[in-house]
Amino acid sequence: MCLKIEYKKIQEECGIFGGYAFCGHIAPYIKCALLKLQHRGQESAGICCGDEVQNLYKDFGLVNSVFKDYEISNLKGAFGIGHVRYSTFRDDRKENIQPLKIRYMGEDVSLAHNGNVSQAAHIREKFEKIGEVFLSASDSEVILKRIVFSLKKKPSEWTYDEVAKCINDNFSLGSYCIVIFTKNRIMAFRDPWGYRPLMLAKTAQGYFVASEDVAFWGLDVEEIVEIQPGCSVEITSGGVEYKTFDTTKKHKKCVFEQIYFASAASNIFSKNVYQTRVCLGELLAQCEDSDFCADVVVPVMDSGLGCAIGYAQKSGMPFHLGLVRNSWAERSFIQPEQKNRKNNVLQKFMPIKSVVEGKRVVLVDDSLVRGTTSSHIIKILKNAGAREVHMRSVSPKILNTCIWGVDIPTKEELICHGISDSKIAEKIGADSVKFLPLDMMKEVFEGDNWCLECFLEDRG
């Protein structure tokens, strides 16, 4: 499949949450959920709550630093949405932090989304030519402005069918999950392709939607449902309605949700993330030459943990935590600039010298994208006395850019593009490197409803 789409410069992989709390105060539930989704975005966080009038608070930083007791107590209302954000380039404009809230015809309406909607730049340009002004560089503003312009009536009068049609007509090629908050109502939409996950929970505390089901942990859950591609939910105080707006597209779920982005505790696309990573590690161990041997298997935390456990179990090599992860450091892959990634790796990982000193180490990670993180980790291990470091990736070689918002901007930045395994090992300072073959990975991600575009040298 080859899609000719005009893409914006800001691409996102974020976390969203929203719903209705029976107790009348949803903000504490949103904060708890965003903490569990913090791995999806660490640049900024925002919460918008209310009933007829919406109260918004958002800022740069991690969830716990943005939302203290004072902010949460002042975010009144039974309905609300929340967002944690990651952008792929340095972005110091507070206007881009989500949720986005506007006031139209005397009523508040807010929106947050995860993904990369298509044609946003084209729609923005068309609006600007007729005199419209945008206050942010976010797709959220484009989506909301498109809906307002199309419906031209109070948000409380928007019908589900009208909003769904507007989104699908204008952003049908996008990879998105969108939550919209109007007067006493939440609407949540998952794109017809199904690239990004969206979950619904019915609990004793209320009705909620989230990017991952781990966000519901700690609630008294009665039922969790994966919102299917091209489907949506409408939440009011009267309950939840599950609806469909487009089932015509062939599903293309992002494998990186399972390999990297999602929490190991989550169930994404009907698969447990931790078990998937263990299985990938086991398959990777099967790829080793019969004479290959090492002293210890070490994971790159956190997404490489299950992978390394699977590798160690299958290979019979000992498993140890040779690296301690600083939980307060941000994820290096989602740092907006390369120099930030380098500094973050040095702050994030600390070696356990007694585990790696004098040892032949198998270092297992989820993937190699730019090679930045891997090269610095290998240097850390060798400075701690590791005799050899053999890099292993449970994903195949990443050979192409992502057209749906994962931070892989150019082929030239990809460590695997156009060079051999031995050259890759040389560039990152490893004694050897090995990748899980694409055909073997397909044994885990069965069927043709997974997006594998980034593993293909040329898109057909």
Name the maximum alpha-carbon separation found in the chain: 73
Q: Which of these is catalytic: 2, 14, 49, 287?
A: 14
Nearest to 46 by CA among 10, 96, 90: 96
Report the b/e string of 138-167 with b at 16+ CB within 10 A.
bbbbbbbbbbbeebeeebeebebeebbebb
What's the rounded Cα separation, in Å, for the pair 16 and 210? 6
What's the rounded Cα separation, in Å, for the pair 169 and 166? 5
49 is catalytic: no
Starting at the earlier edge strand, list the strands of the sheet with 185-190: 100-104, 107-116, 175-182, 185-190, 231-236, 239-244
CB atoms within 10 A of CB 4: 6
Enter the tokens of residue 16: 């969203």
**Length of the chain in terms of residues written:** 460
What's the rounded Cα separation, in Å, for the pair 276 and 303? 11
DSSP structural state of residue 20: E
Terminal alpha carbon distance of the chain: 6
- The 8 Å CB, 24+ separation contacts for 102-106 are 102/144, 102/148, 104/148, 104/154, 104/155, 105/153, 105/154, 105/155, 106/154
β-sheet bridge partners, residue 193: none
User: Please, are residues 185 and 196 in contact by the beta-carbon 8 Å criterion?
Assistant: no
Residue 441 identity: M
**DSSP strands (E only) in 147-294:** 175-182, 185-190, 199-203, 206-210, 221-226, 231-236, 239-244, 253-254, 267-268, 271-272
Beta-carbon contacts of residue 188 (< 8 Å; ≥ 6 apart): 18, 177, 178, 179, 180, 198, 200, 209, 227, 232, 233, 235
- Residues tagged active-site: 14
